[in-house]
Structure 1
């Protein structure tokens, strides 16, 4: 009988991915908050709607240097 380890199960990977997304969302919003940059409801909604951890990482990096929250979404 094969042993199925939970952390190798597709459901476990999905849970890890969802966790990375949640952490990314919170990090983007917190960086802006820590820097004293106002976050509109529209920006908050767009960040919270994102499910791509790589995109959230890019936005977090932009948030470090942004002067306005809308700068997160400007492509370089």
Structure 2
């Protein structure tokens, strides 16, 4: 419920005080609001990384199978996605993203 129906009543001021407490405790107190916010932020970052990987592969003209596309878009590990993004500019095939780089001899 928002403040719209409260006009200039004491209820409006009470609601503002309650909401201020929620926001005051928002980062660092592991509130439900913070957990949902951070969860959504991480999901958004993962989607953005996946989109970037696919875009680089597409611009380079590499074929992207449905399996490769699904593996990239369903990954939620940001470190892995960052690695794939770095490698997407140099791999010869999209599938090569998933192979470990061999050490230089």
- Scaled to the shorter chain, the TM-score interval is 0.7 to 0.9
Say which structure, 1 or 2, has more relative contact order (CA 8 Å, 6+ apart). Answer: 1
- Correspondence 1:35 to 2:53: no
TM-score if structure 1 supplies the norm length?
0.88
TM-score if structure 2 supplies the norm length?
0.65
- Correspondence 1:71 to 2:96: yes
Q: Which runs of 4+ in 1 moved over 3 A?
A: none
Shift of 1:7: 6.0
Find the structure with the greater CA-based Rg: 2
Paired residues, what number? Answer: 76
* Pairs within 5 Å for 1:8-47: 8=27, 9-47=34-72
* Structure 2: segments with no counterpart, 5+ residues: 1-17, 28-33
